[in-house]
Amino acid sequence: MKKFSGFTLIELMITLFIVGILLAVGVPSMKTFMQSNQLVASTNELISALHVARSEAIKLNARVSICESSDGKTCDTTGSWKEGWIVFVDTNGDLANTGAPCAAPNTDCLLRIHDGFTDNQLTVAGVDANAAAINSFTFTSRGLPKAVNGAPQSGVFSICSLDSGGNTIGSRAVVLSLFGRVRVSDNPAVMSCP
């Protein structure tokens, strides 16, 4: 007589039940983990772009601007940085990028492009000291953020992760001081999430 080996129906059902419980517990935790990582990565990308703009302004001894951009060529004025941004040499301060790579000195040229975020539950927006929407920052050759009219600039970017109901589940702020210093804050008092 042959002896058959394998799983019984009861053993298979118990295994599937245990796997189902593990998935029910693990999937929501994984989603939260992924959203938290996206929030940190988005914050770091914005900080990096601000650092590049400031350091290139000092290095090139020219005005360098960073502005929101949905097409990677021109500046937008929507108030949302979620669609992306560009960093470019802005010698005349008109916020009109040429879209060309840097070839000759004293000409406007593109330094960096950041495509928009694909996560629909992430918002990136900035406000200045007067609570007006930030569309761009321009760094002078001394590394100071100044507007085209010469007024000093500072502001706070709020990067917010939302759940499917539109409620904020995580947020970070990128703060740019009048002296060009960039720092991250988790203080909810400085953020403006939807």
pLDDT at 105: 65
The rounded average pLDDT for each run of 10 residues, N- to C-terminus, in the chain (194 residues) is: 77 90 80 82 91 92 89 84 89 72 71 85 84 88 86 90 82 91 87 77
pLDDT at 166: 80
* Rama region for 143: left / alpha / beta (φ>0; ψ in -120 to 50; rest): left
Computed on alpha carbons and rounded to an integer, the radius of gyration of the chain in Å comes to 24
pLDDT at 130: 81
Domains and CATH numbers, the chain: 10-190 (3.55.40.10)
pLDDT at 14: 92
pLDDT at 127: 87
* Rama region for 10: left / alpha / beta (φ>0; ψ in -120 to 50; rest): alpha
Token pair, residue 156, equals 């706070």
To which H or E segment does residue 39 belong? helix 9-60
